[in-house]
């Protein structure tokens, strides 16, 4: 069985201004810098892995937005890797890109944890890899069927699509990016670009197709590779 690939980053920062990564013998956790106990596990084990009509079904809005013809999906805004690991468990070959080195180190450790869990190892091995860098400059050297984007949403929203703790971590660590430039770079390299938005949030540009879900919707943009 192929080993799970790790995030490639130039250094190994495990302390940020607001968070630190604490390494235990059998697990890794993200801790608020002021906290004395209770970190957030760096792990994909919490992923809802129900098949059939469950979370991993390709009949869900996310699966329909990505499309059954796709093989390779680039998640160009990997964050904590929840969506990338979900897409990989749904059967796509996923390459995640994260520009924040601290988050890229966290992704690396979540992959390390997946290798300790037989079920996740079976689902993710050879299916998921992460790279640290700016997707806008990396995408022109890559090719994919689909580029998936989940840009940081800075407006008001009724409910976050991520569980509370991971959403707080991302809000604290991440600066808003240039979504338009990233969308243009993605459209150049893929047959379609799927952008996750809060169901009540504005689109970053007029989409070609929309797949509505309960908390989020997926806006689809046709790309240059048809
Ligand atoms: C809302 S978070 C994504 C959350 C992710 N979907 C998950 O499941 O954890 C957006 C992430 O995209 C990253 N990002 C934004 N612009 C980027 C770019 N041009 N290249 C790489 N990463 C980028 C941010 O650093 C942030 O971690």
pLDDT band at 38 (very low <50, low <70, confident <90, very high): confident
Q: Is the CB of 177 under 6 A from ligand 1?
A: yes
Distance 76 CA to ligand 1 centre (A): 7
19-222 maps to which CATH number? Answer: 3.40.50.150
Pocket test for ligand 1, best of 41, 99, 147, 198 (most atoms within 8 A of CB): 99
Q: What is the pLDDT of residues 161-209, one digit of tens each?
A: 555 788 888 888 888 889 999 999 999 999 999 999 999 999 999 999 9
Report the nearest atom of ligand 1 relative to the CA of 135.
20
CB neighbour class for 137 (10 Å; exposed up to 12, middle 13-18, buried from 19): exposed
- How many CA atoms within 13 Å lie on the side-chain side of 101? 9
Domain ranges of the chain: 19-222
- Looking at residue 156, its pLDDT comes to 57
Nearest to 92 by CA among 61, 65, 59, 68: 68
């Amino acid at each position: 069985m192929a080993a799970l690939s790790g995030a490639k980053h130039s250094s190994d920062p495990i302390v940020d201004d607001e968070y630190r990564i604490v390494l235990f013998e059998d697990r890794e956790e993200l801790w608020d810098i002021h906290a004395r106990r209770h970190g957030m596990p760096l792990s994909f084990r919490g992923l809802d892995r129900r098949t059939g009509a469950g979370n991993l079904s390709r009949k869900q809005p996310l699966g329909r937005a990505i499309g059954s013809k796709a093989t390779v999906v680039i998640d160009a805004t990997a964050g904590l890797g929840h969506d990338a690991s979900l897409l990989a468990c749904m059967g796509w070959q996923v390459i995640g890109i994260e520009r924040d080195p601290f988050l890229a180190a966290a992704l690396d450790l979540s992959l390390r944890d997946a290798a300790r869990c037989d079920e996740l190892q079976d689902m993710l091995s050879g299916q998921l890899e992460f790279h640290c860098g700016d997707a806008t400059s990396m995408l022109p050297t890559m090719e994919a069927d689909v580029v998936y984007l989940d840009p940081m949403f800075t407006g008001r929203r009724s409910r976050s699509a991520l569980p509370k703790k991971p959403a707080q971590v991302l809000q604290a660590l991440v600066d808003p990016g240039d979504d338009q430039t990233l969308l243009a770079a993605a459209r150049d390299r893929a047959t379609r670009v799927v952008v996750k938005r809060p169901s009540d949030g504005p689109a970053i540009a007029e989409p070609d197709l929309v797949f509505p879900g309960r908390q989020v919707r997926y806006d689809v943009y046709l790309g240059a590779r048809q």
